[in-house]
Amino acid sequence: MIFEETRKALKRLGLPEGDAFDLPSSDKRFPDGAHFRIECPTVNSAVAIEALLNRSLEMGITINRITETFGMFRHTREEIKEMCKLCHDYGCELLLSTGPRATYDTGATVLSEQGVRVSYRLRGQEQLIRAIEDIKRGYELGCRGFLIYDEGMLWVVNEMRKNGDLPKEIIFKTSAHLGHCNPASVKLLKDLGADSINPIRDLQIPMHAAIRQAAGDTPLDIHTDNPPGSGGFIRTYEAPEIVRVAAPLHCKTGNSVIGGHGQMTGATEGKRMAEQAAIIVEMINRYYPDFKQSGKNVADMRIPVVV
């Protein structure tokens, strides 16, 4: 094998020696023993959440996590409280997205060809402070999980969580918009305090298998379908193998029914997201019937509260 000395050096650092082309099965699990959970992102209104959850009940599937991506600070108190109540009554997690982020800021870089390098990160210390205030507002309204778009913010809020400046029971998920796509980057996010990690959307299965080796017990959040705005690829038949090599895993599904991440979604999109999620669950159960999905109200989940 070429590059042997470099591969050995990486192994000494606790990283895989390469992408895992042998596709080993992961022996990691969620605390309840489950291989996978279902996460639906870009569910950006209470109406969309209600439609998604109602349709999931009709179809006999379980949604374990809902992620809002429009921007927490763009929702009224009443809307956030209703989102929390819907997820609380159903028994699933709700993660709200922190901001203000670069796309909502006054800077023009994010609109340029170089903008992908800024992504949704925070510009300046004042925006970092405001994003922390966003978490405090969301917590007060009942949310217990938050989506993070900035590595520096992740370090700060994890330190604040450890020292009691933020509640210890909240969780932080890192977004695919951070652009991380290799085992070393994933290990960095884990060490910074991420409770689940979303790599970029187009990684191949051997890459996911190698990332699992660096992520330890931290769950990965991997897209099984995407809107045209982020590639449009739908990985329905790959989903079972992704779960096998990368468990514990949130299968992120439903976004193929919309045009792009971060857009406002309503009842029609919510219903169709549930139907796409049902296809992913069907495929996993069809090819790996022994794989376990978490149910509702699992002990380690951060179910929102009603305030």
Tell me the mean pLDDT in the region 285-306.
Answer: 98
Q: What is the pLDDT of residue 242?
A: 98
Tell me the mean pLDDT in the region 79-89.
Answer: 98
Q: What is the pLDDT of residue 260?
A: 81
Domain that holds residue 79: 21-101+118-287
pTM of the model: 0.95
pLDDT at 133 exceeding the cut of 80: yes
How far is it between the farthest Cα atoms of the chain? Answer: 59
Is 6 inside a domain boundary?
Answer: no
Looking at residue 150, the DSSP 8-state letter turns out to be -
Is 261 inside a domain boundary?
Answer: yes
CA distance 205 to 211: 10
In CATH, what number is assigned to the domain containing residue 130? 3.20.20.70
Q: DSSP E strands: which ranges in the chain?
A: 36-41, 65-67, 93-97, 145-148, 171-174, 196-197, 220-223, 249-252
pLDDT at 305 exceeding the cut of 90: yes
Helix (H) or strand (E) holding 137: helix 124-140
CA distance 276 to 293: 16
| Count of the separate structural domains present in the chain | 1
Q: What is the pLDDT of residue 178?
A: 92
Contact by Cβ (8 Å): 59, 53:
no
- Cα distance between the two ends of the chain: 59
Q: Going by DSSP bridges, is the β-strand pair 171-174/145-148 parallel, antiparallel, or unpaired?
A: parallel
Q: Band of the pLDDT at 124, cuts 50, 70, 90?
A: very high
Q: What percent of the chain has pLDDT over 90?
A: 88
Contact by Cβ (8 Å): 61, 277:
yes
Contacts of 252 (CB under 8 A, 6+ apart): 39, 40, 41, 67, 198, 221, 222, 223, 224
Is 5 inside a domain boundary?
Answer: no
Q: What is the pLDDT of residue 164?
A: 98
pLDDT at 58 exceeding the cut of 70: yes
Tell me the mean pLDDT in the region 169-179.
Answer: 95
Q: What is the pLDDT of residue 145?
A: 98
Is 215 inside a domain boundary?
Answer: yes
Q: What is the average pLDDT value for the chain, to the nearest integer? A: 95
Q: Band of the pLDDT at 115, cuts 50, 70, 90?
A: low
Is 217 inside a domain boundary?
Answer: yes
Residue 62, SS3?
coil
Q: What is the pLDDT of residue 99?
A: 82
Looking at residue 284, the DSSP 8-state letter turns out to be H
Is 131 inside a domain boundary?
Answer: yes
Q: What is the pLDDT of residue 101?
A: 79
Q: What is the pLDDT of residue 107?
A: 77
Q: Band of the pLDDT at 38, cuts 50, 70, 90?
A: very high
Is 111 inside a domain boundary?
Answer: no
Contact by Cβ (8 Å): 235, 283:
no
Any idea which of 25-34, 108-117, 220-229, 247-256 has the lowest mean pLDDT?
108-117
In angstroms, how far is CA 231 from the centroid of its own chain?
17
Is 46 inside a domain boundary?
Answer: yes
